[in-house]
Chain A
């Protein structure tokens, strides 16, 4: 049973560019959340998707956007990259909120973005 898979694992961009990160959730999970983990810090919640809609959002600018597809996979897009966007981007999947066990998130290994 595959867990959460993310791609790419590493990428390097320059300031002002745009990036798309991809995530496939664990089998049976329908909710996908994205987190940003800066070096030496704890992950910060970006947003959560369920039924192809953004359900809630953390304190991130509109440059961060996402999408969820009918097969529950998800993308994170970041426009106009800044040096401060360099981080490990983690995708986590879970069951729908309110479902038994929904508070247990399964994380992928992350996509490490470096902005030069």
Chain B
């Protein structure tokens, strides 16, 4: 079945450090890929998405590139802030599956001042 694997956390960084969260996927079709962020006590917010190979999603300084050859969608940010502390989820959806989301287990990121 379809699945998403992302690096386990927690990831602890200092402010202005570079952040990478690895994400790989397995899918029977050609999925759309997403990164969602969950701040403490809140629901999920869409951070960025990509719908086809080599697309780059970007938002709020975060970027991720859809790599079909490596089935990956790694999240990066060049300079993190304390406000980026959250749990990040990689997810995929398939149009043929009604666009239901399949999530990875989440990566907790803690940015210290």
Does B associate with A? yes
Residues of B87-113 at the interface with A, using a CB-CB cut-off of 8 Å, are 89, 91, 93, 95, 97-106
Q: How large is the interface on A (under 10, 10 to 19, 20 to 34, 35 or more residues)?
A: 20 to 34
Q: Which of B45, B51, B97, B104 contacts A42 (CB 8 A)?
A: B104
Asked if A55 is an interface residue, CB under 8 A from chain B, the answer is: yes
Name the residue among A41, A97, A103 with the largest chain B CB count within 10 angstroms.
A103
Chain B residues near A106 (CB-CB < 8 A):
46
Chain B residues near A44 (CB-CB < 8 A):
103
Q: How large is the interface on B (under 10, 10 to 19, 20 to 34, 35 or more residues)?
A: 20 to 34
Q: Mark A1-38, 1 if CB is under 8 A from B, else 0.
A: 00010000000000000000000000000000101000
Chain A residues near B49 (CB-CB < 8 A):
103-104
**Judging by beta carbons under 8 Å apart, are B42 and A103 in contact?**
no
- Mark A residues whose CB is within 8 Å of B: 4, 33, 35, 40-45, 48, 55-56, 58, 90, 92, 94, 97-98, 102-110
Chain B residues near A103 (CB-CB < 8 A):
32, 49, 51, 93, 95, 99
Q: Kindly state the separation between the CA atoms of A85 and B15 in the bound complex, as whole angstroms.
A: 37
Q: Which of A45, A56, A58, A109 contacts B43 (CB 8 A)?
A: A109
Asked if B27 is an interface residue, CB under 8 A from chain A, the answer is: no
Q: What is the CB-to-nearest-CB distance from B46 to chain A, in angstroms, rounded to a whole number?
A: 6
Asked if B17 is an interface residue, CB under 8 A from chain A, the answer is: no
* Majority secondary structure, A binding face: loop
- CB nearest to B96 among chain A residues: A97
Q: What is the CB-to-nearest-CB distance from B45 to chain A, in angstroms, rounded to a whole number?
A: 7
Q: What is the CB-to-nearest-CB distance from B88 to chain A, in angstroms, rounded to a whole number?
A: 10
Chain B residues near A45 (CB-CB < 8 A):
100-102
Asked if B82 is an interface residue, CB under 8 A from chain A, the answer is: no
Cross-chain pairs A/B with CB under 8 angstroms, 18 sampled: A4-B43, A33-B100, A33-B101, A35-B101, A41-B106, A42-B4, A45-B101, A48-B98, A56-B98, A56-B100, A92-B44, A92-B101, A102-B95, A103-B49, A103-B95, A104-B46, A107-B45, A108-B43
- CB nearest to B102 among chain A residues: A45
